[in-house]
A and B are shown apart, each in its own frame.
Chain A
Amino acid sequence: MKKTLSLFNIFLVLLFIFFIIGFYTFYNAKGTSYLSSASESCNNCHIMNEVYNEYMQGPHSKKFKGEPRATCVDCHLPHEFFAKWIAKAQSGLGHAYAFTFKLDELPTNLSANNKSREIIQQNCIYCHADFAQTAINATTNPHAHDSLKCISCHKDVGHKHGI
């Protein structure tokens, strides 16, 4: 009985330590910043340095009433609540894994994947609907092979790299 108790104590102490260093690691990794929509938090990891610098020079980062016109997540994540957090969790885990374990294999210049392209296209329309609903033409037909997207032409509005 005594032995079990001491084992239980060890367990409790270890659990306590785990939570302490767990919280510390979360803090150290600026974990809370990922709950915000601030673009700076995307630049926590230096893979994003070039893209972030270009975003800062581009039109979308320019401030309007103290807020940037569009942050990274405004273009890169869905705007609906659930879809946004599911996508955020998915890409967050993917990015964390790649940055931790596959840093050497990451290419110098990143490319958007298809899912990301879809989200970006939806978000162009989401914000620019008043213009887009009258301007969109048949070439944006999503079923057509290699159909044009908004960024096919407006490719530098967010940032130059990684399209």
Chain B
Amino acid sequence: MKKNILRLGIIILVLLILGVLWLNNDIEQKKKDEANKNTIAISADPSLLSDDDPNYERWGKVFPEQLDMYLKVEKEKPQATEFGGNLAYSKLIRFPQLTILWAGYPFSIDANEERGHFWVQIDQMKTARNNKDFLNAHGFKAFKGQPTACMNCHSGWTPWLIKNVAKEDFVAFNSTNYWTMMKNIPAANGIIENSPQHAGAHGGKRMGVTCADCHNPSDMSLRITRQAAINALVARGYEKDSIQGIKASREEMRTLVCSQCHVEYYFKPTGEKVKVMGESIADDSSKKWWDGTQKTYDEYEFWRDGNKAKEIQTNGIILTFPWDDWKKGQPFRIEMFDEYYDKIRTIFGADFIHKLTGAPIIKIQHPESELYSGGVHALNGVTCADCHMPYIREGAKKISQHNITSPLRDINSACKACHKQSENELRDQVKDIQNIVASEQRTAEYALVSFIMDIKKLREKLGTMEQFQIDNKPDETKISAELKDILELHRKSQMRVDFVNAENSTGFHNPREASRIIFQAIDMARMGQAKLLEIANANNIKDFQISNLGFEDIQKLNPGELYYKVDVNAHKAGERYYENEKDVNINPPEELLKEDKNLSPYNYKFIDKK
């Protein structure tokens, strides 16, 4: 009996000793963490890094935590948020009104929700907007192919290519064909030339935004590497800096590095011919596009079948931000774009001519920097990185998140560093702002689509009248002249609708300015419809009525997932365009559509209950 008690005691003691030893080990570990909290700065060997090799895996050897966070985006299951997130569903299915707004422009065929910095180059190479044969076979006969200018922000290789291939000639870089420039991305770090790895995302041709795009290799300080951003900031009154691009404080840089790309831009024609790299396939009369015309480049990322580089001449373009009227220290106002684009109209009239109305349209792209500049957070010195790359603790280290995403996914780190309210209260507040802006935005989109449909209707009616005909056919120039004021209203209203749509925060970056912009868009669309009635009256068209489309009408325009409609290259009609990408171009989650349905008109009983 005594023996048994002793045995039990011994067992308990052994377990206790093991437990205490484990605890001791854990304490040691945490003390080590604390002692090592600044080790990055001490142990990092910047001599391993240089601009000759922007591969993030190489930089990640020195900064493993940051690389881990960056690469998390590749493996994690994508999530949608109400108005954003990183699930690449088809925006055209969720918002079919976009197919009408962008009619005549490749975005009307393929536009998916963005899914983060890791994917930007992969997605840009795959999008149908970058597939000449597909577009030509699906209603865009005149499409000539994307220029390298499109690659400025998408590839981590861009600075390398400008330096080594375009020899520091920014215009030549931008003016080269996209697929030709792709062929110049080197195989570095033991990657075999022309291998799948060389075509891939990890240091290969599909590598997206990378460490070197924002960080200096010598000390990891922030820098601006994109020439267009430097040019635009200089035009706004900033001073150039040879190391960090622009003279600015670290706090400013935490916003400016994002402003390299999260801006509205256009490709300004220089009016001159430039010598750039072309492809010898242009001389091979056996190589034809889908429509039978001569191929001028091989839509493939490698040189193959004897195709090689040759010098050609082409029209020069330069990536430009339309910021001349937006001076340093000012909040951005949408009218600055009106003034700018009106001023340069003889050089750059439009991104595209609207297929249904004939209006010259400026397509706005992700103007986060512009909208954010006047918002309450910006005015209080909060930077992009503060919310999108909030500090988190890893062991004892304080590091900033590098899986850049919606702050709604980590409200504690992103918001609670400053706001003391509970996470639920904060989420509700963001949602309320976004719901209201989204409601206004949907109202504006429905109004604008109604306006566009009415312009189309009136164009057709005018075309049947003798005074608007030439050789018994509608004289489009004459009709456009009659509708001059209308087309201007369409252009300006659409610029505003597009602005808030392309800006990726559903107004949150500056709710007041977003509302002001949308308000103008609605006012212009409805004023335009009134003017259409006036013109109809003046031309004795008695039965002309204006339309007022809503959610249900618009849903009928749903284009569905993207499929081949005819045989193109090796693809058969009926095949899914994104055959290997299960998460891309899919239907949006049901509940988002349900919410959209209740936003305009605003069904507070539904929205407030959620």
**Do these two chains interact?**
yes
A→B interface (CB under 8 Å): 3-4, 7-8, 10-11, 14-15, 17-18, 21-22, 24-25, 28-29, 45-47, 49-50, 99-100, 106-109, 111, 155, 161, 163
- A7 in contact with B7 given A18-B13, A28-B28 (CB within 8 Å): yes
- A-B pairs with beta carbons under 8 Å apart, 21 shown: A3-B3, A4-B3, A11-B9, A11-B10, A14-B14, A17-B17, A18-B16, A18-B17, A21-B21, A24-B24, A25-B20, A29-B27, A50-B398, A107-B412, A107-B416, A108-B391, A108-B410, A108-B416, A109-B413, A111-B416, A161-B417
B window 1-47: CB within 8 A of A: 2-3, 6-7, 9-10, 13-14, 16-17, 20-21, 23-24, 26-28, 30, 33-34, 37
**Interface pair A18/B20, CB less than 8 Å apart:** yes
**Interface pair A46/B14, CB less than 8 Å apart:** no
**Interface pair B391/A100, CB less than 8 Å apart:** no
Q: A107's closest neighbor in chain B, by CB?
A: B412
Q: A29's closest neighbor in chain B, by CB?
A: B27
- A155 in contact with B14 given A108-B412, A108-B413 (CB within 8 Å): no
Q: How far apart are B13's CB and chain A's nearest CB, in angstroms? A: 4
Q: Which residues of A contact B17 (CB under 8 A)?
A: 14, 17-18, 21
Q: How far apart are A107's CB and chain B's nearest CB, in angstroms? A: 4
Q: Which residues of B contact A17 (CB under 8 A)?
A: 17
CA gap between A37 and B517 in the complex, in Å: 57
**Interface pair A111/B393, CB less than 8 Å apart:** no
Q: Which residues of B contact A46 (CB under 8 A)?
A: 30, 33-34, 37, 393, 395-396
CA gap between A63 and B58 in the complex, in Å: 49
State which of A10, A50, A100, A155 has its C-beta within 8 Å of the C-beta of B10: A10
State which of B9, B10, B24 has its C-beta within 8 Å of the C-beta of A21: B24
State which of B30, B416, B420 has its C-beta within 8 Å of the C-beta of A155: B420
**Interface pair B20/A28, CB less than 8 Å apart:** no
A-B contacts, CB under 8 A, total = 77
- A11 in contact with B27 given A47-B393, A109-B417, A161-B417 (CB within 8 Å): no
Interface size on B, residues (CB 8 A): 35
**Interface pair A21/B20, CB less than 8 Å apart:** yes
Is B353 an interface residue, CB under 8 A from the partner?
Answer: no
Q: A106's closest neighbor in chain B, by CB?
A: B393
**Interface pair A7/B24, CB less than 8 Å apart:** no
Q: Which residues of A contact B21 (CB under 8 A)?
A: 21
Is B472 an interface residue, CB under 8 A from the partner?
Answer: no
**Interface pair A99/B30, CB less than 8 Å apart:** yes
CA gap between A109 and B30 in the complex, in Å: 19
Q: Which residues of B contact A15 (CB under 8 A)?
A: 13
Q: A108's closest neighbor in chain B, by CB?
A: B413
- Other A-B contacts than A4-B2, A11-B9, 14 sampled, CB-CB below 8 A, are A7-B6, A10-B10, A17-B17, A21-B20, A25-B20, A46-B30, A49-B37, A50-B398, A100-B26, A107-B412, A108-B393, A109-B413, A109-B416, A109-B417
CA gap between A28 and B26 in the complex, in Å: 11
Q: Which residues of B contact A4 (CB under 8 A)?
A: 2-3, 6
Q: Which residues of A contact B26 (CB under 8 A)?
A: 100
CA gap between A3 and B10 in the complex, in Å: 14
**Interface pair A14/B10, CB less than 8 Å apart:** yes
Q: Which residues of B contact A111 (CB under 8 A)?
A: 416, 420, 422
Q: Which residues of A contact B6 (CB under 8 A)?
A: 4, 7-8, 11
CA gap between A50 and B24 in the complex, in Å: 25
**Interface pair B2/A109, CB less than 8 Å apart:** no
Is B392 an interface residue, CB under 8 A from the partner?
Answer: yes
CA gap between A18 and B28 in the complex, in Å: 18
CA gap between A25 and B9 in the complex, in Å: 21
Q: Which residues of B contact A8 (CB under 8 A)?
A: 6
Q: Which residues of B contact A10 (CB under 8 A)?
A: 10
CA gap between A49 and B391 in the complex, in Å: 13
CA gap between A15 and B10 in the complex, in Å: 8
Q: A96's closest neighbor in chain B, by CB?
A: B23
CA gap between A11 and B413 in the complex, in Å: 50
Most buried by B among A3, A25, A45, A163: A25
Top 7 A-B residue pairs of the complex, sorted by shortest distance between their CB atoms: A46-B396, A109-B416, A108-B413, A14-B13, A107-B412, A163-B420, A25-B24
**Interface pair B16/A28, CB less than 8 Å apart:** no
Q: B14's closest neighbor in chain A, by CB?
A: A14
B window 296-315: CB within 8 A of A: none
Interface mask (B70-113 → A, CB under 8 Å = 1, otherwise 0): 00000000000000000000000000000000000000000000
Q: Which residues of B contact A22 (CB under 8 A)?
A: 20
CA gap between A31 and B196 in the complex, in Å: 57
Is B390 an interface residue, CB under 8 A from the partner?
Answer: yes
Q: How far apart are A115's CB and chain B's nearest CB, in angstroms? A: 16
Q: Which residues of B contact A99 (CB under 8 A)?
A: 30
Q: Which residues of A contact B396 (CB under 8 A)?
A: 46, 49
**Interface pair B27/A108, CB less than 8 Å apart:** no
Q: Which residues of A contact B9 (CB under 8 A)?
A: 11
